[in-house]
Structure 1
Amino acid sequence: MTRLPPVPYEEWDEEVLRPLTGGRKIPPSNALGLLLNHPRLAKAFLGFSTPLVYRGTLPARIRELAVLRVAWRRRCRYEWSHHALSARRAGVTDEELAGVRRGDPTLVTRAVDELEDTSTLSDPTYAELAALLDERQLMEFVFTVGAYAMQAMVYNAFGVEPDEGMDDGGMPAAPKATPHTKPGTGPHTNSGTSPHTAPVTIPGTTPDAPSDTAPGTTPDAANPAHP
């Protein structure tokens, strides 16, 4: 359930959205409608996220697989629904999408899980990434995981629903948060797990395994309304 109503489409400030749209007309988006409640924040954030995603050097397949792993771990239905489309356009197969949900130990999944669990990368995983990516791509990979983890937190906290007609892949709802009554206590304390990493089984999949765009491109014309 949406906690902060999105700004109505007819009231959107096109100048605020210009870092994403370049002045183009784009369809309604629950995420952008939420962001537009805070125009200065929206413009600053889009100025960061748009070049990272649409004018970066990280290969699109790797980027989308990383974003989807973040979305699945954090049970962010909005993020999954948009990036599953982008991933398919980047050549990601249905079996690979299922592997993201299962937690198959691919390099991308292992790297995302390490970043999410520990806020760093192990030496072996870093070495594998460095053998695949150049320095700028490696930086973009870590920034992408962090940026979409933040977005997942925002969309879940404010109850942003997938846009009309978007498929969330049968994702279960994010776990309900519980109040933290004392400093240093709560579901994230010394447990090694957190609500967004809890295994969940959906039809046709198995629970997650334990964790162990080229320059000059523009947002996907069929899916432009997600930062």
Structure 2
Amino acid sequence: MTDAATSEDARLPPLSVEEYGRLLRELGAEPVAESAVRLNVTRMWAHSPRLMLAQQPLQRYLRFDSPLTPRVREVATLRIGWRCSAPYEVMQHVEFALTQGLSESEIAALFQEDVGTGWSPAEAAAIRATDELHALHTVTGSTWEALSAHFSPAEIVDLLSLVGRYWTVSVVSNAVRLQPEPGAAFSDLPGAPTAHGGAP
């Protein structure tokens, strides 16, 4: 791994809050919640205003309107963030996952090759599917059977799309070396990634 792959200097700093607000006004876009504006990832996407606007409905759907349970959503999101060694993505979703009832020990287990036992059958299937999508760019027949046993067709499509969405967020945040917000830090849970694009 080269120094260029692990340096913690941001390559593409997010717009300032003021610049972001001015951009939204120029675009005639709907206001964004203050909690979202504070996030560096929100203002990083603003470097491509049309993409920023185009992806917002998908992001809202996957976060708030999908039939996937919040736990399954966060399990898959954290797992793909870990697989991509994306410290910013993992940092944000550790906090989201805690609010959805995952414990710190459960979250830390997602940062290991062997996630252990104690997961529901649906969660275990989601973890397997996420791992295979990352490694194989598809899922095996046995994993498809497990998904079909615990998820509706709509939920399966949403799960696959969720993993793809947060793979995109992970690799983009790694490439631009997105940094924590002021006063925040990358997760210090065991196994959590600390360098953009490093192992695993």
TM superposition score category, shorter chain reference: 0.7 to 0.9
Q: Distance in 2 between matches of 1:81 and 1:88?
A: 11
1:23 is displaced (CA, Å) by 4.7
In the other structure, the counterpart of 1:2 is: 10
Percent identity among equivalent residues?
Answer: 26
In the other structure, the counterpart of 1:120 is: 138
Q: Which has the larger helix fraction?
A: 2
1:18 is displaced (CA, Å) by 5.5
The aligned runs of 1:32-71 (5 Å cut-off) are: 32-71=42-81
Q: How many pairs does the alignment contain?
A: 176
Residues 75/23 of structure 1: CA separation in 2 closer, same or farther (3 Å cut): closer
In the other structure, the counterpart of 1:185 is: none
Q: Distance in 1 between matches of 2:40 and 2:138?
A: 32
1:25 is displaced (CA, Å) by 3.2
Q: Distance in 2 between matches of 1:68 and 1:7?
A: 26
In the other structure, the counterpart of 2:196 is: 174
Residues 17/67 of structure 1: CA separation in 2 closer, same or farther (3 Å cut): farther
In the other structure, the counterpart of 1:134 is: 152
Residues 18/76 of structure 1: CA separation in 2 closer, same or farther (3 Å cut): farther
Alignment of 1:25 with 2:26, yes or no, is no
Q: Distance in 2 between matches of 1:39 and 1:116?
A: 28
Question: Where do 5+ consecutive residues of structure 1 fail to align?
Answer: 176-194, 199-227
Per the normalisation by structure 2, the TM-score is: 0.80
Instruction: Determine if contact 1:107/1:128 at 8 Å carries over to the other structure.
Output: yes
The aligned runs of 1:129-168 (5 Å cut-off) are: 129-168=147-186
1:87 is displaced (CA, Å) by 0.7
Instruction: Determine if contact 1:52/1:140 at 8 Å carries over to the other structure.
Output: yes
Read off the aligned partner of 2:13 and give its amino acid letter: P
Per the normalisation by structure 1, the TM-score is: 0.71
Instruction: Determine if contact 1:64/1:83 at 8 Å carries over to the other structure.
Output: yes
In the other structure, the counterpart of 1:101 is: 111
1:102 is displaced (CA, Å) by 1.2
1:65 is displaced (CA, Å) by 0.5
Residues 166/65 of structure 1: CA separation in 2 closer, same or farther (3 Å cut): farther
Q: Distance in 1 between matches of 2:92 and 2:194?
A: 16
1:164 is displaced (CA, Å) by 2.6
Residues 17/37 of structure 1: CA separation in 2 closer, same or farther (3 Å cut): farther
In the other structure, the counterpart of 1:211 is: none
Instruction: Determine if contact 1:64/1:86 at 8 Å carries over to the other structure.
Output: yes
Read off the aligned partner of 2:19 and give its amino acid letter: E
1:140-170: CA deviation from partner (whole Å, max 9, x where unpaired): 0000000000110100001111223334223
Read off the aligned partner of 1:72 and give its amino acid letter: W
Q: Secondary structure at the match of 1:136?
A: helix
Q: Distance in 2 between matches of 1:124 and 1:59?
A: 22
